[in-house]
């Protein structure tokens, strides 16, 4: 079966073991996680996890079934690019001196990215977007020389 990217949003109880049990599920089955984010929700008892993975439909169904068996997992939702708004935050530190600085600013403005730090030889840019926007931005930034790239991984929220 064809391998595609899937994004799962998990509402989980906020306890010390849940992350390790969820990560363990992936390890035991040899599935790799493309990205994972976990943060608080409006209710401090719960956390929201967003997991992106590349797998076929059979593996996806298997993983969802396993998640639903964990007592700490309250709800599993599959987010697609149609029913959800997905965003990632990227911090990128570039080599940039006085000659290239204005070109970096130009591209950052087009993508509504923010310059958050500048030194004599570097610039650090913050930007958010969906997958298409972020990969487009990184493509344009690469020629300047990427010194460091930090990505949060995707998070998503259902529309409407």
Closest CA to 149 of 109, 111, 92: 92
The count of residues interacting with a copy of itself (CB under 8 A) is 55
Residue 122 found at the interface with a copy of itself (CB under 8 A): yes
Considering the complex, state which of residue 65 and residue 75 has its C-beta at the smaller distance from a copy of itself.
75
Question: Going residue by residue from 14 to 53, which x/- string records binding to a copy of itself, judged by CB under 8 A?
Answer: xxxx-xx-xxx-xx--xxxxxxxxxxxxx-----x-x---
Span 58-117, contacts to a copy of itself by CB under 8 A: 85, 87-89, 91, 93, 112, 114, 116-117
Residue 155 found at the interface with a copy of itself (CB under 8 A): yes
143 vs 94: CA distance, rounded Å = 9
| DSSP-assigned states of every residue in 41-88 | -SSTTEEEEEEEEEE-HHHHHHHHHHHHHSTTEEEEEEE-TTTEEEEE
């Amino acid at each position: 079966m064809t391998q595609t990217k899937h994004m799962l949003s998990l509402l989980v109880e906020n306890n010390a073991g849940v992350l390790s049990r969820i990560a363990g599920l992936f390890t035991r089955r040899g599935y790799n996680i493309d990205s994972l984010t976990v943060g608080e929700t409006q209710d401090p008892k719960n956390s929201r996890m967003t997991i992106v993975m590349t797998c076929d439909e059979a593996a996806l169904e298997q993983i969802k079934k396993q998640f639903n068996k964990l007592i700490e997992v309250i709800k599993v939702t599959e987010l697609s690019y149609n029913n959800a708004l997905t965003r990632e935050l990227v911090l990128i530190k570039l080599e940039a001196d006085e000659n290239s600085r204005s070109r970096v600013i130009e591209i950052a403005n087009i993508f509504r990215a923010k310059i958050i730090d500048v030194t004599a030889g570097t610039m650090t840019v913050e930007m958010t977007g969906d997958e298409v926007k972020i990969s487009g931005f990184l493509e344009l930034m690469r020629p300047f020389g990427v010194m460091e790239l930090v990505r949060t991984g995707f998070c998503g929220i259902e529309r409407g």
